[in-house]
Amino acid sequence: MKPENIKITPKWSKNKEDIWNETFAALEDSGSSRINRISFWKFAAAVVILIVLTGTITARFYSVTETTARATHLTVTLPDGSTVNLNAESELTYKPYWWLVSRMVELNGEAYFEVTQGKRFSVISNQNEVKVLGTSFNVFARTEKYCVTCLTGKVEVTAANETVLLNPNMRLTYRGKKMTLEENIDARQSNEWTKDKFVFVGVPLVDVVREIERQYDIRVKANNSLDHFYTGNFSKTEKPDEILEIIGKPFGIKFSIK
C-alpha cells in the first residue's frame, strides 16, 4: 500500500484552544508560585528590618531613672557591675540596653562612683562632664556648686569649657563661675556620707545647713546671717537639733527646726 493511500484520523476530543490552555497553564502556575515566594521573602526581610530598627530605637532611647528622697541613700548597680551610691535628694539616669555602646549616666545631685574597667565611662551633669576608664570618684552636682573628687585612678573633668585631669587626692570645684583646683587633699572625706558621716573643711555655712536639711528632711531657720565658713563633722546618728547647736555656737547663731 502506498503511503499516500494511508489516511489517519486523529481521535482528539479537545479543540486547539483547550490544548493551548492546558499546555501553558502549568507555566503560569509555576510563575505565580515563584512570584509568591519572592513576595514572601520580601515581606520576611521587611519584618526583620522592622524588628531590628525597633530594637535599636528602643535600646537607644529607653532609660532608667533612680531617685532618692530627702533623708535616704541608694546603691545602684549598673549593667557592667559598676556601682553608684546616691546621696539624699539625687537622681541618676542611664540606658541599660545601650550600655554596651555607651557607658554614660546623667546625674543631678551627689553620688560616689566605683567604675569597673572598660571603655570610657561618662557622667553628665548639665554642661559638665566626667570621663574615666576605671576608677572611683565623688561627684557633687547641685545648683549651688559642681565638685568632683578623685579617689583612685584618673578623672577627666570638663566644666565651664575647661578640661582638667585629676589624679588621686585632687578636687575640682566650680562655683559662681569660679573654678578651684585642690591637690593633696584627703579624698576619702568626700564619700564619708556613704557611711552616714559628714565632713566639712572650710565649707560655706549655708551649704552645711542645706546638707543637714537634706539628710534629716527638715527645714531650718537661722536668727542671723550664714555668711561664714565651717570646719567640722557630724554623724547622722546624732539628733539634728544637737548638730545645729554645735555648728551655730562659734558664730553666735541659733537655729530652729520648722
User: What pLDDT is stored for residue 177 in this prediction?
Assistant: 87
User: What pLDDT is stored for residue 258 in this prediction?
Assistant: 84
Domain boundary among 142, 161, 187: 187
Q: Are residues 157 and 52 in the same domain?
A: no
Q: Are residues 77 and 180 in the same domain?
A: yes
C-alpha distances (whole Å) from 158 to each of 45, 70, 121, 164 are 45, 28, 14, 6
Q: Are residues 236 and 252 in the same domain?
A: yes
Q: Are residues 201 and 228 in the same domain?
A: yes
Please state the φ and ψ torsions of residue 30, each to the nearest 5 degrees. -65, -45
Q: Residue 48: CB partners within 8 Å, gap ≥ 6?
A: none
Tell me the per-residue pLDDT of 137-180, one tens digit each, with 9 for 90 and over: 999 999 999 999 999 999 999 998 899 999 999 999 999 889 99
Predicted TM-score (pTM) of the model is 0.78
Q: Are residues 55 and 68 in the same domain?
A: no
Segments of the chain scoring below 70 in pLDDT:
1-60
Identify the CATH number of the domain in which residue 148 sits: 2.60.120.1440
Q: Are residues 36 and 125 in the same domain?
A: no
Position 129 in a domain: yes
What does the alpha-carbon distance between residue 117 and residue 127 come to, in Å, rounded to a whole number? Answer: 25
Domain hosting 239: range is: 196-257
Per the CB < 8 A criterion, the answer to whether 107 and 125 are in contact is: yes
The number of distinct structural domains making up the chain is 3
